[in-house]
Structure 1
Amino acid sequence: MKSFVPLVHTDPAAPVAVGEAGARTAGELMRDARAVARRLPAAAPGSEVLVVCGDRYHLAVTTLAAWLRGHAVALPPNAQPAAVRELAGRPSVVALLHDSDLTDAQDVREWLDGHVLEDMTDPTWPEALAAERRLAVVYTSGSTGDHQPCAKTAAQLLGEAQALAATFALQAGEVALATVPPYHLYGLLFGILAPLAAGAAFARETPLHAETVARAARQVGATVLVSTPAHLRGLTVLERGDLPPLSRVFSSGAPLPRATADELLARLGLQVTEVYGSSETGGIGWRRHEHVLGDMSTEPAWTPLPGVTVEVAGEGRLLLRSPFLAPDAPVPYPCEDRVEVDARGGFHLRGRLDGVVKIAGKRVAVAEVEQRLLALPAVADAAVVAVESPGARGHELVAAVVPREAGREAGELVAELRRALLPWFDPVVVPRRIKLVPALPREPSGKLTRRKLHALLGLAVEADSPASEAASGGRAEAQAGAAAGDSRDMSAGTDGAAAGAAAAASGSRDMSVRTGHEAQASSGSRAMSAGTGSERDGARAGAPSNMSEGAAAGGGATAFALGGHVRRDEGGVSVHEVEVGVPVDLAFFRGHFDALPVLPGVAQLTALVVPQVAALRPELGPLRRAARLKFTRPVAPGDALVLRLEVRGTSVRFSLARAGEVVTAGALEYEARGG
């Protein structure tokens, strides 16, 4: 029986991790892994160590430590506290290790603080791991609404890492930089295990903003970039030379739009390699975008990974034979995707068969979102449908909810529902539109047809079929309604927005408003990241009184729904990221295109950005100037945004991003306090 080792480095001084948090060698990695292993409880049959680490080096240490001690390592579907704590309560989990702000678990950094740098040990893995040994458990979203465990053996996990390293010719001396969390299977394989299987190194941090990706890539000398379509789309704002020479760029998590692949190739010279697979199956195939295709060209076919065979069953269902499948999986394994096989042995994807969709690269079971809504005390009945959405998002969720109490204020209830979902899901997954209705048009059997549900939600009506298909992302998805608003350009009046920002900062003096060319500066893409060594809090700031009072006069919500806050330092710049929910009844929408409401730029600045700067950086004085404002996409009711602030001295660069795509950006100049 074949066996595997996770670390092939033999030189203790060989680098394995690089980044602002400090470089580490193979000898230091093994030293730290052994130290953590000694502190873990003894292994028992089926025991797991749940790991939630944003720093890839910490995740590598804890993973190797769990294996040295005889445990499997469990990776959560996301880092939301409620989801993590639920998984930590499972009987198989014997320890929860993290490097964040969780207060009721072990911070692995406390176990590593006493080590002397350059105190290294022999990195040789002590004993090869048997192919059938259970090494990892990846929790996925299941159709029942619960996170389902997906176990991985050494043959599956390390075998795939070796196959990836060989297929894509990763070599010693290379550095992989990833923009995907390391606790996701894709991030674990491409961002840690494949580099270690090749004798290469990985970057510790997870940059997402285009400029921080470019800076991190230059700093660590990255040769490999591991990313997602939404993040890659943000890189198109860069210029040639901003990134170091990259030998390979990988994309997974969602289909890469052809326009994004073409622009990356034409603008930056980047040939993107897409990787296709799932948590249940492991990697299946890959394809490389080597030519600018244009709208009318045929998409490149997918090539199966070594050892993988693709067959087709009825309805085009993919049947899979793969060494990365679970040992007890049926052979061939029936997948929930439709494919066509070509004469050369490649294949083309033709959509999904099951009820799992990907939203901006985040895989989610629509049934789970529905079940979470139904579990809320304020909800009597609910249905969720997935619809196609233009741009990098790919899909979005729309919900119909029957309130348990009649007469509640709609905006307040919708905001409450969104807040209740955020601990369980990434903000981009939470339904963009929630419609409150007196009842759902169910059949006497209790089923809800797609036609009736779509008609209720104002979506394109299709032929009748059980709503269980619609509510779990079924076989055919409707086009999004006009209220999605992603494709419209926003004309928000740059001069007026800048002036409004200045007015909101009371007490400012000698203020000059920049316009013209300064208002055209571009900004890159940004999505929420757990970060490394971050501070989190629940920072709150209401809208300035002049805006709030004016909006309140027309009714509706006057404040944004603010979620988690992350703070960290990046090369002398203090970075804040705040999750922002846009209430559907936000009063600032009133009078701004009733058929397709958009949030005015002045409201974005004066009711959100400026108050958050004041709340998070009270040491700054009055606002002097708002400059280089750009409103590239509309902000719609129900949007889930991330506000990013980059503070250097009295200068603040800001951006608002939706699903990793910047919608608003600019710069603020403040006076020093007392200056």
Structure 2
Amino acid sequence: MIVSPSPSPCALSRTDASCRSYADFVAMVQRVQSAVSQIARPGDRLLLTTRDRYHVAAVLLAMPALGTCLRIQSKDPSLPTSTLRLLKDGTASGEDLDVRAFDEQAIESSGPLDCPVESDEPFLELTTSGSDGSPRVIEKTPRQLFSEAMMHRELLGVRSDARILSTASPEHIYGLLFTVLLPLVSGASLSRETPHHAASILGSLSSLAATHLITLPVHLKALQSELMSRSDLKLPKSLRTVISSGAELPPALATAFAERGLRVVDVLGSTETGGIASREPATSELYEPLPCVRVDVGLENALLLDSPFLPTGTGRYECADRVQLENGKIRYLGRRDRIVKVGGTRVSLAELVRIARGLAQVDDAFAFAKDDPGDLRGTAIYLVIVSQARERAELWQELRRALPDALLPRHLCVVRQAPTDDRGKVTMSCLEALFATSEKKNEQRVELRGLRAPVCEGHFEGEPIVPGAVVIEDLVLSSIARSFSDLRTPKRLLRVRFPEAIAHGALVNVSLCRRDNKVDFEVYVGASPRATGTVEYPS
């Protein structure tokens, strides 16, 4: 057995209707093992499509005893949710199982769980974009993952009375370790939900009486913004610990939650390496290597790693991260390659430059990224386009259509000639100077992403859309107030247009450009503008 039965009757739960105990869980694992043994042989690969971490846990723990290997995918257009598919040579075999059919309450005790957690045979495949942006499959063994989960259990003090809520998907290593395996090795309760929006996170924290929140910096920023905007909102008193990973957690954000009496932990790691180090950013900028991990510094400040969470026989591993060591602790300096994390998503600056250079009448393009506490995603992308014929506004629209949200630059500068130093080279300082000049002209740009359009009861029955006045009040003016603290009471609206309607509850992005006391705004869904205009404030 890998865990003792939890004293809680709802060891793994979502709502009362789907509350499951440890005995229920063991029974489900055994049902999955029995069904999979009928269609698969040792060495076979299976694909699971689900967002339900309870199903992930049950199917994953069925794999080691069968000698099979699992790949998890939150969704697949060709498969219903919670489908387990046997793969042959990487493609569908026609053998599918509906995992929901095994999700029942146990009628009687099922006995111990057969799961060889010290096995060195691969039982899980994870996909990562790696250091070059191209997808790669990383195999993991039970020994690697369970030993790391047990280590985090001791470091974080997670016990059977813990109740865990996560905004991180279980298909990625961080979400899998902390919200599937950590509860299993500690006997803690977990929620099957994966809320992403601030209001739903707060609601789930309270309904679960959660003690631990597993999250990403981008979700913490949204949560802090929601808490600051409404004095009636509070975190539940049950909450003790916040754990963040996926991107570096800004110390100011960590401090904001630490001041609410919470322990805030930032974990450094990757799919390839597993966990490397952790810190509490409210009190230290330095990461402490995990107890069994040894670190060193190589050429160009490359992080060198010896870790039991790496594949057996790997030896010293050179990471794509730049660091300094200070008394054995790690000061993180950023990535060595052109891959950066924006809101927890890896994106390629090289790909951005390639796309920008491919636009009509564009002579050249350059991109860089910087940490930006003012950006909800934590990292701001800067793009410089060199063009003799194109104007900024039209290029901006083309980029919105061509780029995924995570890769869309927050700052765009269009110049007629590439900026160079006295040696004729385009350097980082030359590029940064362009945006410094823009800031001196009192132009400030902000992009607020993933906002939820309000629901207005009683308007336009049968065709629920958000009225223009509500768009201005709840999306535009509130976004300006959040972004520019000195602008509160508007004087007038100028050139306001509504090219298309916004549906109730739609996800929208708000783009703001401030020049002195005027703010140009654009509210858009995807690449489609839905509201544009200017708000003028008193001088």
Q: 1:414 to 1:347 in 2, by over 3 A?
A: closer
Q: Deviations over 1:24-45 (max 9, x none)?
A: 1122222223333444474456
The answer to whether 1:255 aligns with 2:237 is no
Q: 1:222 to 1:454 in 2, by over 3 A?
A: same
The answer to whether 1:73 aligns with 2:74 is no
2:317 aligns to what? 333
Tell me which amino acid in the other structure corresponds to 1:358: K
CA distance in 1: counterparts of 2:466 and 2:101, whole angstroms? 48
1:282 aligns to what? 274
What is the percentage of aligned positions where both structures have the same residue?
27
Scaled by the length of structure 2, the TM-score of the pair is 0.71
Q: 1:410 to 1:265 in 2, by over 3 A?
A: closer
Q: 1:134 to 1:14 in 2, by over 3 A?
A: farther
What is the DSSP-based 3-state SS (H/G/I as helix, E as strand, rest coil) of the residue aligned with 1:336? strand
The answer to whether 1:354 aligns with 2:334 is no
Where does 1:387-398 land on structure 2 (aligned, <5 Å)? 387-388=369-370, 390-391=372-373, 392-397=376-381
Q: 1:142 aligns with which of 122, 130, 139?
A: 130
What is the DSSP-based 3-state SS (H/G/I as helix, E as strand, rest coil) of the residue aligned with 2:406? coil
Where does 1:66-105 land on structure 2 (aligned, <5 Å)? 66-76=63-73, 92-93=89-90
Q: 1:180 to 1:123 in 2, by over 3 A?
A: farther
Deviation at 1:161, TM superposition (A): 0.9
CA distance in 1: counterparts of 2:516 and 2:221, whole angstroms? 28
Where does 1:422-441 land on structure 2 (aligned, <5 Å)? 427-432=405-410
The answer to whether 1:460 aligns with 2:457 is no
Q: 1:430 to 1:148 in 2, by over 3 A?
A: farther
Deviation at 1:22, TM superposition (A): 2.3
2:381/2:408 contact within 8 Å kept: yes
Deviation at 1:430, TM superposition (A): 4.2
Q: Deviations over 1:325-383 (max 9, x none)?
A: 11142x2211222222233x322222221222110222234345667x59999999986
2:445 aligns to what? 485
1:385 aligns to what? 367
Q: 2:30 aligns with which of 22, 34, 49?
A: 34
1:141/1:368 contact within 8 Å kept: no
CA distance in 2: counterparts of 1:413 and 1:520, whole angstroms? 27
Q: 1:382 to 1:581 in 2, by over 3 A?
A: farther
CA distance in 2: counterparts of 1:452 and 1:415, whole angstroms? 26
Q: Deviations over 1:111-158 (max 9, x none)?
A: 347x4x343552622242443110222111135542111111122111
Deviation at 1:249, TM superposition (A): 1.5
1:170 aligns to what? 158
2:264 aligns to what? 272
2:296 aligns to what? 311
Q: 1:579 to 1:132 in 2, by over 3 A?
A: same
1:363 aligns to what? 346
1:581/1:639 contact within 8 Å kept: no
Tell me which amino acid in the other structure corresponds to 2:372: P
CA distance in 2: counterparts of 1:234 and 1:188, whole angstroms? 23
Tell me which amino acid in the other structure corresponds to 2:23: G
Deviation at 1:599, TM superposition (A): 4.8
1:47 aligns to what? 44
Q: Deviations over 1:65-115 (max 9, x none)?
A: 444543222245x75869x9xxx998654669xxxxxxx9968455347x4
1:177/1:203 contact within 8 Å kept: yes
Deviation at 1:164, TM superposition (A): 1.0
1:64 aligns to what? 61
Tell me which amino acid in the other structure corresponds to 1:185: I
Note the residue ranges of structure 2 that are not aligned, 5 or more in a row: 449-455, 483-492, 532-539
CA distance in 1: counterparts of 2:50 and 2:471, whole angstroms? 43
Tell me which amino acid in the other structure corresponds to 2:11: V
Q: 1:508 to 1:265 in 2, by over 3 A?
A: closer
2:14 aligns to what? 19
What is the DSSP-based 3-state SS (H/G/I as helix, E as strand, rest coil) of the residue aligned with 1:485? strand
Tell me which amino acid in the other structure corresponds to 1:578: A
Scaled by the length of structure 1, the TM-score of the pair is 0.58
Deviation at 1:213, TM superposition (A): 2.0
Deviation at 1:289, TM superposition (A): 4.2
Q: 1:122 to 1:370 in 2, by over 3 A?
A: farther
Q: 1:155 to 1:120 in 2, by over 3 A?
A: same
CA distance in 2: counterparts of 1:276 and 1:599, whole angstroms? 38
Tell me which amino acid in the other structure corresponds to 2:245: S
Tell me which amino acid in the other structure corresponds to 1:320: L
Q: 1:508 to 1:305 in 2, by over 3 A?
A: closer
Q: Please identify, of 153-162 and 127-136, the stretch whose mean Cα deviation from structure 2 is larger.
A: 127-136
Where does 1:513-552 land on structure 2 (aligned, <5 Å)? 551=497
1:12/1:121 contact within 8 Å kept: no
1:46/1:71 contact within 8 Å kept: yes
Deviation at 1:453, TM superposition (A): 9.2
Q: 1:579 to 1:522 in 2, by over 3 A?
A: closer
Tell me which amino acid in the other structure corresponds to 2:320: E
What is the DSSP-based 3-state SS (H/G/I as helix, E as strand, rest coil) of the residue aligned with 1:150? strand
1:248/1:271 contact within 8 Å kept: yes
CA distance in 2: counterparts of 1:310 and 1:124, whole angstroms? 38
Q: Deviations over 1:591-638 (max 9, x none)?
A: x757999554xx75xx88xxxxxxxxxxxxxxxxxxxxxxxxxxxxx9
Q: 1:37 to 1:70 in 2, by over 3 A?
A: same
Q: Deviations over 1:6-33 (max 9, x none)?
A: x423469853312236211122222223
2:64/2:116 contact within 8 Å kept: no
Q: 1:414 to 1:263 in 2, by over 3 A?
A: closer
Tell me which amino acid in the other structure corresponds to 2:14: G
1:111 aligns to what? 101
- For the aligned residues, what is the CA RMSD? 5.3
1:12/1:123 contact within 8 Å kept: no
CA distance in 2: counterparts of 1:276 and 1:512, whole angstroms? 41
Tell me which amino acid in the other structure corresponds to 2:56: L
Q: 1:597 to 1:204 in 2, by over 3 A?
A: farther
Q: Deviations over 1:211-239 (max 9, x none)?
A: 32222122112111111222222333436
Q: 1:401 to 1:91 in 2, by over 3 A?
A: farther
Deviation at 1:192, TM superposition (A): 1.2
Tell me which amino acid in the other structure corresponds to 1:353: R
Q: 1:354 to 1:232 in 2, by over 3 A?
A: same
Q: Deviations over 1:149-190 (max 9, x none)?
A: 111112211111111112212111211111111212111111
CA distance in 2: counterparts of 1:180 and 1:218, whole angstroms? 18
Q: 1:220 aligns with which of 186, 198, 208?
A: 208
Q: 1:211 aligns with which of 192, 199, 209?
A: 199
2:264/2:280 contact within 8 Å kept: yes
Note the residue ranges of structure 1 that are not aligned, 5 or more in a row: 97-103, 292-298, 422-426, 442-448, 463-477, 489-497, 525-546, 553-557, 566-575, 609-637, 644-655, 657-675
Where does 1:397-412 land on structure 2 (aligned, <5 Å)? 397=381
Q: 1:196 aligns with which of 184, 208, 217?
A: 184
CA distance in 1: counterparts of 2:207 and 2:300, whole angstroms? 49
2:159/2:186 contact within 8 Å kept: yes
1:534 aligns to what? none
Deviation at 1:272, TM superposition (A): 0.5
1:49/1:66 contact within 8 Å kept: no
1:382/1:399 contact within 8 Å kept: no
What is the DSSP-based 3-state SS (H/G/I as helix, E as strand, rest coil) of the residue aligned with 1:255? coil
Tell me which amino acid in the other structure corresponds to 1:8: V
Tell me which amino acid in the other structure corresponds to 1:15: C
Q: 1:550 to 1:359 in 2, by over 3 A?
A: closer
